C-alpha cells in the first residue's frame, strides 16, 4: 500500500499536480518498517479498510509542503487493489521460478527414463504398459503450461487501479487520465482502459491461473504418493540424509512428506478460487462487502500456490525411481496388461469382436487361476485351437505379451514434451525480481 501511495505521489508530481519534490518526499516517508501495523489494523475496524489510517499516518510523516501529494485523487480501493496487484506480481515471480525448477527436474526424469517400462494404470488398476518417462513428461507439460499462464497474467493482466470515489477521477479534473497513466508507469503495471473497481475479471483470471498451477503440482504429488506406497514402491522421495519422512510413532516409516505438503496446499485452491469467483459480482460503482471478501482468499491462494510450487521443485529434484520394481509390478500382473495387444494381433484373422471375446474369456481364466495369460492362451485348447487355426504362432503370442513391444507413441510423446519445454524456455523472459 505504501508503494502505491508513493507511486501516486510521484505520478501527481510528474503531471504537475503537486509541488516539485513532493513525490520524493512522500516516497522517503513511505517506509513500511516505520509504521505501526497493529494500530493501523485497529483503526481499520472503524473505516472498513486500513487505508484511511495508513493515509493519516503517512501524512503525519511528510513535510507540510508535500502533504498535498498524499492520496490525492485516490480512494481506498485504488490503493488496496493496486497493492494486491503488486503483491501478486512479487509472488508470481517466485512461483514461476519454482515451477521452472520443478519443470526442469521433470524434464530430466523424462529424458532419463524415456525407455523405463512401467504399468499404466487407469481407475487405479493396471491397464497397458507406459514408460516412466511418459509419466514425467506429463508432469512436465502441465507444469510448463501452468507457469506460462501465470507469466501471461503477470505481464498482461496485473494492472494499476486509479479511479477515485466512483471511477471518474473527478477530483483531479482534466488531469485525471494523465495521472492514471503516470501512476501505472511508476509501478510498472499495465494501464487499464478504465478503472476496474467493479470489474473483477483480473482477479478471477489470476485466481484461476494460480488454481491451475495447484492442479499441476497436485497431480505430481498425488502420483508420487500412489507410486511410493509400500505395496507399489516404484518411486521414493529423497530422504535428506535419512531424516525426512519419519513418524512420531513408527520408527520404520519413510513418508512422502513433500508430496503430502503439496497436497495439503493444493487441496485448498479450489475453495479459494470459488470464493474469489463468488465475490466477483460487485454492485454499482463500488461494492459493499464483495471487495472486502477478496483480500484473504487471494493472499491465501498466493501463499498455498507458492508453497506447492516450492515443494514440487524439491520433490522432483530428489525423486528416486526404481525401474526394477516397475518391471516387477508389471510382470506380477501375469501378462494381463498385454491383453489389448494380443487382441490386436488376433483381430486381422479372427475379426475384432471375436478376438476381443476370446481374450476376455482367457483373461478371466488367467485372473481366476493365477496362471499367466500366455500359458492360458497356448495351453488351453479352448483358446489355443482358434489361435492356431488363425495361423498365429506361439512365438507371435509371446512377442505380443512383451510390454516393451506395446508402448505406442510413448517415446515420440516424450520427445515432443522435451522439445516444447526447451522451446518455451528459449523464448521466455525472466520474471521480475
pLDDT, tens digit, for every residue of 373-410? 999 999 999 999 999 999 999 999 999 999 999 999 99
Cα 371 from chain centroid (whole Å): 44
Residue 426 — pLDDT band, cuts 50, 70, 90?
confident
Please give the residue that has the higher pLDDT: either 433 or 139: 139
Of 135-144, 188-197, 265-274, 419-428, which range is least confident? 419-428
Residue 275 annotated as catalytic: no
Sign of the CA dihedral with 250 first, then 251, 257, and 261 last: positive
Longest dimension (CA), the chain: 102
362, 368, 369, 371: which is closest to 340 by C-alpha?
362
- Of 94, 105, 58, the closest CA to residue 79 belongs to 58
Alpha-carbon gap, residue 326 to 138, rounded angstroms: 18
Q: Distance (Å, rounded) from C-alpha 241 to C-alpha 343?
A: 48
Q: Please, which pLDDT band fits residue 433 given cuts at 50, 70 and 90?
A: very low
Q: Which of 169-178, 240-249, 260-269 has the lowest mean pLDDT?
A: 240-249
Q: pLDDT tens across 128-187, in order? A: 999 999 999 999 999 999 999 999 999 999 999 999 999 999 999 999 999 999 999 999
**Rounded to an integer, what distance in angstroms lies between the CA atom of residue 21 and that of residue 401?**
80
Q: Which of 42, 56, 247, 364 is catalytic?
A: 247
d(CA 338, CA 151): 42
For residue 228, pLDDT over 80 is answered with: yes
What is the average per-residue pLDDT within 237-249?
Answer: 58
CB 51 within 8 A of CB 1: yes
- Find where cell 475479471 sits: 201
pLDDT value of position 304: 98
Closest CA to 287 of 49, 53, 41: 49
Residue 159 DSSP code: B
258/245 Cα distance (integer angstroms): 9
DSSP string, 186-208: HHTPBPPSS--TTB-HHHHHHHH
Q: What is the pLDDT of residue 41?
A: 95
Q: What share of the chain has pLDDT > 90, as a percent?
A: 94
Using alpha carbons, list the distances in angstroms from residue 416 to 114, 141, 250: 12, 10, 44
H/E stretch holding 293: none
Cα gap 70→52, rounded to integer Å = 11
**pLDDT band, very low/low/confident/very high, at 428 (cuts 50, 70, 90):** low
CA distance 40 to 53: 5
Interior angle at CA 228, CA 226 and CA 232, nearest 5? 80
Closest to 290 (Cα-Cα) out of 228, 394, 200: 200
Query: First CA to last CA across the chain, in angstroms?
Result: 18
**411: part of which helix (H) or strand (E)?**
helix 410-427
Hey, what domains does the chain have and what are their CATH numbers? 1-72+164-195 (1.10.275.10), 78-159+197-329+411-427 (1.20.200.10), 336-400 (1.10.40.30)
Confidence of residue 425 (pLDDT cuts 50, 70, 90): confident
Q: Would you say residue 250 has pLDDT above 90? A: no
Q: How many CB atoms lie within 10 A of CB 194?
A: 13
pLDDT category, 244, cuts 50, 70, 90? low
How many Cβ atoms from other residues are within 10 Å of residue 8's Cβ? 29
pLDDT of residue 248: 43
Cell of 117: 517400462
Q: Dig out the grid coordinates for 115 from the structure.
A: 525407455
Statement: residue 431 has pLDDT above 50: no
Which H/E stretch holds residue 273? helix 269-278
Query: Picking from 19-23, 412-416, 423-427, which range would have the lowest pLDDT averaged per residue?
Result: 423-427
Per-residue pLDDT band at 276 (split at 50, 70, 90): very high
* Active-site residue, from 149, 191, 286, 361: 286
Higher-confidence position of 49 and 433: 49
Average per-residue pLDDT in the chain?
A: 95
Q: Is the pLDDT of residue 242 over 80?
A: no
* CB 135, CB 168: distance < 8 Å: no
Judged on CB neighbours under 10 Å (0-12, 13-18, 19+), 203 is buried
Is 247 annotated in the active site? yes
Amino acid at each position: 500500500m505504501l508503494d502505491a501511495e508513493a507511486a501516486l505521489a510521484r505520478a501527481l508530481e510528474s503531471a504537475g499536480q503537486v509541488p516539485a519534490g513532493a513525490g520524493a518526499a512522500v516516497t522517503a516517508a513511505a517506509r513500511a518498517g516505520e509504521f505501526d501495523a497493529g494500530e493501523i489494523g485497529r483503526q481499520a475496524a472503524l473505516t472498513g479498510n486500513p487505508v484511511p489510517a495508513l493515509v493519516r499516518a503517512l501524512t503525519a510523516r511528510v513535510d507540510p509542503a508535500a502533504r498535498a501529494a498524499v492520496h490525492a485523487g485516490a480512494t481506498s480501493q485504488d490503493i488496496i487493489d493496486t497493492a494486491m496487484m503488486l503483491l501478486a506480481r512479487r509472488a508470481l515471480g517466485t512461483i514461476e521460478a519454482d515451477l521452472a525448477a520443478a519443470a526442469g527436474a521433470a524434464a530430466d526424469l523424462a529424458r532419463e527414463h524415456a525407455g523405463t517400462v512401467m504399468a499404466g494404470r487407469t481407475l487405479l488398476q493396471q491397464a497397458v504398459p507406459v514408460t516412466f518417462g511418459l509419466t514425467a513428461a506429463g508432469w512436465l507439460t502441465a507444469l510448463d503450461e501452468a507457469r506460462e499462464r501465470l507469466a501471461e497474467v503477470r505481464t498482461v493482466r496485473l494492472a494499476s487501479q486509479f479511479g477515485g470515489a466512483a471511477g471518474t477521477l473527478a477530483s483531479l479534473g482534466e488531469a485525471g487520465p494523465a495521472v492514471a497513466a503516470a501512476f501505472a508507469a511508476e509501478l510498472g503495471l499495465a494501464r487499464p482502459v478504465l478503472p476496474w473497481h467493479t470489474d473483477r475479471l483480473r482477479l478471477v483470471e489470476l485466481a484461476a491461473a494460480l488454481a491451475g498451477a495447484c492442479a499441476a503440482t497436485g497431480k505430481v504429488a498425488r502420483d508420487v504418493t500412489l507410486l511410493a506406497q509400500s505395496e507399489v514402491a516404484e518411486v521414493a522421495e529423497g530422504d535428506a540424509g535419512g531424516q525426512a519422512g519419519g513418524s512420531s510413532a513408527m520408527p520404520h516409516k519413510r513418508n512422502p512428506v513433500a508430496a503430502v505438503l503439496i497436497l495439503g496446499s493444493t487441496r485448498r485452491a479450489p475453495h479459494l478460487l470459488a470464493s474469489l469467483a463468488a465475490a466477483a459480482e460487485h454492485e454499482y460503482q463500488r461494492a459493499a462487502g464483495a471487495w472486502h471478501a477478496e483480500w484473504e482468499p487471494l493472499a491465501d491462494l498466493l501463499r498455498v500456490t507458492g508453497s506447492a510450487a516450492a515443494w514440487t521443485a524439491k520433490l522432483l529434484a530428489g525423486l528416486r525411481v526404481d525401474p526394477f520394481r516397475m518391471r516387477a509390478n508389471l510382470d506380477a500382473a501375469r501378462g494381463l496388461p498385454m491383453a489389448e495387444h494380443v487382441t490386436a494381433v488376433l483381430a486381422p484373422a479372427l475379426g475384432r469382436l471375436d478376438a476381443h471375446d476370446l481374450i476376455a474369456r482367457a483373461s478371466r481364466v488367467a485372473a481366476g487361476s493365477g496362471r499367466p495369460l500366455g500359458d492360458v492362451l497356448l495351453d488351453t485348447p479352448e483358446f489355443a485351437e482358434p489361435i492356431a487355426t488363425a495361423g498365429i504362432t506361439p512365438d507371435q503370442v509371446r512377442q505380443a505379451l512383451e510390454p516393451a513391444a506395446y508402448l505406442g507413441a510413448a517415446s515420440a510423446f516424450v520427445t515432443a514434451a522435451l522439445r516444447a519445454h526447451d522451446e518455451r524456455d528459449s523464448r521466455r523472459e525472466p520474471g521480475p525480481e
